[in-house]
Structure formats: C-alpha cells, structure tokens
Structure 1
Amino acid sequence: MRALRILLVIVVVLGGIFIVVDRTAVYFAESEAAGRIEVSGGTVDSTDVSIKGFPFLTQVAGSVLDQVDIKLTGIETAAAGRRIRISEMKAELHDVTLADGFATATAARATGTATISYEDLTHAADDGVVVEYGGNGKVKVTGAVDILGRTLTRSVTSTVTLVDGRTVRVHADKVPGEGIPGLEGLVRRKTDFEREIGALPSGLKLQRIEPTKDGLEISVTGSDIRLAGQMNRLQAG
C-alpha cells in the first residue's frame, strides 16, 4: 500500500513537471512566433499569437498544431499613393503543419475578422474627404468640390463592397446634382474610391464586408496560409 502511494506521488510530481515544461514551451513558441509572422507588402504594429491544444509538445513532435490564433494590430499598406490601414485582424488557423526543421508553418485553413476604422478609411480617401457610418449598412462620405467659382460641400450615402477579395470599393448610391452640369461627376471623383489591401499573410483573403458603427467589419478566410519563418525556433523550446 505504501509503495502504491509512493508511485502515485511520483506520477503526480512527474505530471506536474510535464505540465510546467509543456506550458513553458508554449509561452516560448508564442513569443517567437509573434515576432516572425510575415505580411506581404506592408507593416504590422504588433502581433499576438496563442497556440491552442494540450499537450503542446506532443503536437510539436507530430509537426502539426491543432489551432493557432493570431491577432495583428495596425496592418498598413499603400496603394495608388494612398495609405490604408487595417485596425485589427483576428484569425483562427487550423491544422498548422511545421516543416523544414520548424523553419516554416502552413495552416490548412483559417477564418477570422478584420476591422478598418472610419478614421483610417478617411485617411485612405482623397484629401478633404471624410468617411463616417451612415446607418443601415452604409457609409456617409462628405467632400467639397469647386465649380463655377463656388465651393460646394456634399454628403452622399455610399455602398461599400469588396472586389476580387482584395480591394475595398466605396461608391455613392446617388449624388444630388441640383441641375448643375458636371456636378455629379466632380462629386463622384471625390467621394468614390477604391483601395487595395495587399498586406495580409499569404493565403488569406477578404470574404465579406459590412459597415458597422465601429468601422468596416470584414470576414477573412483562407487555405494553405503560409506563415513564413516564424516557427524556426520551436524545436529549441
């Protein structure tokens, strides 16, 4: 009986040691991964990584992680001379395969959401244009144009759509012309615009976009997402 109690104590102690080692390895791996996730053609203010599943060391031994959650803050790129910034993107990466001696990692599939604030969308628009939430899934775009020696400021209700899974398009539903020739064209040249979002991990694409009071919410999906170079020290953990 005493031998059984001693055996149980040893099992508990070893189990506790394993858990500590496993969690330490996870913490190390998450820290390393956060600094190594790459986006194409852009920059990121900060990256957070959370590796799910237990035990972690068993997953590493099999070279496949069940789920890795990432949060990228301040993804910034430029297109047509204009900066566009994703305020935040969260994604769940599933079945992440480690390869090349843990130098690369590729997720079989991913789902998530991205947010573009109206402040950032305003910065991406033409000079002097302000973009706000317009209610009912629309945005309100305000801009000023010069015509016939007068400066006219107009606000339009616009629809936001995605083009080819990479480009945000803002297009006015209707422009009040007030019988002034050429006014609608001038206003549209100010208020209608497209901006490409190129700075995403390879394999991720934008799926659906919806204006809300907090900004543009975008569904993110993908397959074979390559997170180049961010896992090359996992083995050391």
Structure 2
Amino acid sequence: MGEKNLTPLNYLSAPLPSSLTSPKDLLDFGGRVLTTDNILELLKSGKNIAICSPGGSGKSSTLSLIAQELTAFHSDIEYLPVKLKLRSYSRNMLNQMIERELDIGFGSWKSLPFKFFFLLDGLDEMLQCDTQAFFDDLAGTLDHYNYIVTLRDKGLGIETCSKTVDSCLLIQPLSYRSAFNIASAIFKSNELDEFYEQYRSRLSSVEFDFFASPFVLSRSIEYYKKTKSSP
C-alpha cells in the first residue's frame, strides 16, 4: 500500500507505556473512537500526542495520513508537517535535524513564514539512554509548536518523563470492512473473493490484532499476488 492509498485508522485513549511518565493529567476520551481528523483538531488546539501501539499497527502510516491531510491543498497550506525519524537522533541535535529536513542552509527555521507540526517517528528506536535528553531537547527547541511522537506499546528501556505530552492514543486493529476495502482496490471480483476467504480464515487461526494490522495486511496482499495463497 503506497502512501497515496493509506487506509483510514481509528484510535482510542490509552495510558502511557512502560517507563514513560508525565506530570500532567492526560486527556481521556473514554470509549470514544477518534480519527485522524480528531488528531488534527487536537494538534491545532495546542495539544501534543503520543501514539503507542504494537509494531506494524500503523504508527508511521498515521504520520503519513496526517502529513497528507495537511498538504492536500498545495496552494493553501496552513500548517507544514515536518517528519523526523528518531532512530538517528543524537543528544542536543534536534534543531539540526529540523534544519536538515527543511533544507535550511542559513538562518533559522523559526523565521520561516509557516506554522509547523512535528511528526516524530520511533521514540523507542533511538538510543534508550537518550530518551530523557530528547524530551528536554524537545521542550527547549519546539517552544510553542506541537507534535506527535510514536513508539511501540512495549514502552521504553529507561525511565523518561515528558512534561509536554497531553494525550496518549492506541491504534485500533483494522475492521473486516476496512481490510476488504483495501483489498477490493487491488483485486478483481473472483480473486478478491478468494483472497478475502483465505484472509478471514487466517484471522480466525491466529491472534486477530496481528493479522488485522495494516503492515501484515499489506504483506499478505503482496504474498497472495505472487503465490495465490495467504501466508
């Protein structure tokens, strides 16, 4: 699934994962299911969001969806998304990462005539000894700008406190209907019926959340296109 064909995802409130804490009372939406539109509303209202979910559940896809929505109308971009892979973060280098992403050779990115949202992917993929330094760097660098940061639900390897996270969200597994809609854009009717029958069978034979992740669905589709069978 290319970025242009990303499926919509849904989210629920969740507690912060292991070893990540906040002195704030996080926003709790109860059982309300949120969409990327709701996430954008939170960002625009000045909230910072952590998305913590298992690998392959759609964390990076969420950031791509947000970036797509922000830049859908190229002639009228109000907020500019800045996507950063945190795997390459080094202490006190966040400002340099932003300037490199924006291709700034002179001056400061803060002098540009844009509003920015920062899409920070993979907090758990950086050196774990740097996670607290990262949040300290984040608070000092972004000032009033807002962000989404993603990490796996397993949490972090070292105790880390964020004073700026306002909400933590968990990605919901894909529904049968969402999976069918994705497959129907790729397969013709007979092939679609055969794929979906096998896919539903696999859902019932393994943990549902695993096979209902966007990553596993995309790999299942690619595998089926080559072999005419589900993995």
Give TM class, smaller chain: under 0.3
Q: Tell me the TM-score normalised to structure 2 length.
A: 0.22
Rg larger in structure: 1
Q: Tell me the TM-score normalised to structure 1 length.
A: 0.22
Q: Which of structures 1 and 2 has the larger relative contact order (alpha carbons within 8 angstroms, sep 6+)? A: 2
